[in-house]
Chain A
Amino acid sequence: MKVARKQRLILITLMVLGASVATAFALKSFNENLMYFFSTTDVVAGKAPKDALFRLGGMVVKGTVERPDKGMMVRFKLTDYSKDVTVEYTGILPDLFREGQGIVAHGKLNDQGVFIAEEVLAKHDENYMPPEVKASLKQKVQ
């Protein structure tokens, strides 16, 4: 390889490396802001902002979805399999909302530590399969 080419190759490699390192540092320092939602453990540990809107993500605990006053208000528990947070939401839930499903809620905590959601988004998982396969998987588990 000619000397000039070699120098250009080294220069370009250094440039890409430099850009990568700079980006890595920038992302590291903004890590908190890049998280789309807080986990339930964060909220129980008091890491989530007080009196401000934030997003809370987790799995809907099976058997906790209830409508206490038979109206539009839904109450359920969210979990990350370590700590639970109770969520209250008034409004229409997305199609994929169901027990055991991951969701992201936008809202804030009240004084009792209940999360009052203004918006609920369903988070779907990365699994795709026909209904029959799902049914047979369920049988195997039982």
Chain B
Amino acid sequence: MFLVPDAVVRFFHRMASPPHFYAFTERLMPWLVVIFALLLGAGLYGGLYLAPADYQQGDSYRIIYIHVPSAWMSLFIYTLMAVAGGIALVWRIKLAEVVLVSSAPIGASFTFIALVTGSLWGKPMWGTWWVWDARLTSELILLFLYLGVIGLYNAMDDKRVASKAVAILALVGVVNIPIIHYSVEWWNTLHQGPTVTKMDKPSIHVSMLIPLLLMALAFKVYYVIALMQRARVELLLRERNSQWVKNKIAMEVKL
């Protein structure tokens, strides 16, 4: 490995070992929960109380503080799953498989929240719950991809084989991610263009933008918490016959 400092390489090597990952996440968890609570509190207070009403949509626009971070997470988690899938296929690292399969239900939940809040927002503003435009349809396909990953993984008994199949599905499905992002630019859609993630400065007032970014960070930290919890359970299940899990159980029983 060149260009990467030794300490970083060693950190990743150690993290790839299940017992080390298990112990490390246990120590990290309380800190993450505190950070999440602070970010969520600040984001909600800023978004629902401090931020002014919108010039056109009034107070209804405040659903943006749930809708947009969820939609961002739905794209982010899928991309991360595809990367983990690639690592799992090439380097056969068990932990990458665990990250991939543990992320799917979390990503599916965020996608579902984005679709539902978008629908609730669309009814008063656009005048309809749902339209089959490119943005809404591609986001719905993303939900089906997530459900496909979950279903495929649970349909196979050999979890190492299942992980490979799921990794390939995640990698092929990643094509949908740029489609979702650029759908509002490539085609005529009812959904408006990007507000924050565009080249020139965001077209949202700074007093509304800061709570939005805080909420986005809070959702990211929540994802890390949920992912670690799921990954720990998945690791225990997969490694139930290995010595470190047996030791762990023996310790728990003694206590």
Contacts and interface: CB of A to CB of B under 8 A. Distances in A.
A12 interface: yes
Given A12-B171, A15-B172, A57-B188, A131 B179 contact: no
A121 B131 CA distance: 10
Contact of A95 (B124, B171, B193, B205): B124
B38 interface: no
A80 B189 CA distance: 15
Instruction: With a 10 A CB-CB cut-off, give which of B56, B57, B172, B205 has the most chain A CB atoms.
Output: B56
Contact of A130 (B52, B64, B126, B189): B52
Interface string A21-41: 001000100010011110100
Given A8-B90, A128-B61, A123 B127 contact: no
Given A12-B171, A131-B55, A124 B192 contact: yes
A125 to B, nearest CB: 6
Contact of A96 (B56, B133, B204): B56
Interface in B107-150: 124-128, 131-134
How many A residues are at the interface, by size bracket? 35 or more
Interface string A117-138: 0011111111111111110000
A36 B134 contact: yes
A15 B55 contact: no
A123 B190 contact: yes
A113 interface: no
A127 B175 contact: no
Given A8-B90, A39-B188, A121 B128 contact: yes
A122 B203 contact: no
Interface residues of B, number: 41
B195 A96 contact: no
A123 B192 contact: yes
B172 A130 contact: no
Interface string A92-129: 00111000000010000000000000011111111111
Instruction: With a 10 A CB-CB cut-off, give which of B53, B127, B187, B204 has the most chain A CB atoms.
Output: B127
B62 to A, nearest CB: 10
Nearest to A127: B203
A36 B55 contact: no
Nearest to B184: A126
B208 interface: yes
B204 A129 contact: yes
5 contacts: A16-B172, A23-B179, A35-B187, A119-B127, A120-B127
Interface of B: 52-57, 61, 64, 86, 89-91, 124-128, 131-134, 168, 171-172, 174-175, 179, 186-190, 192-195, 203-205, 207-208
Interface of A: 5, 8-9, 12, 15-16, 19-20, 23, 27, 31, 34-37, 39, 57, 94-96, 104, 119-134
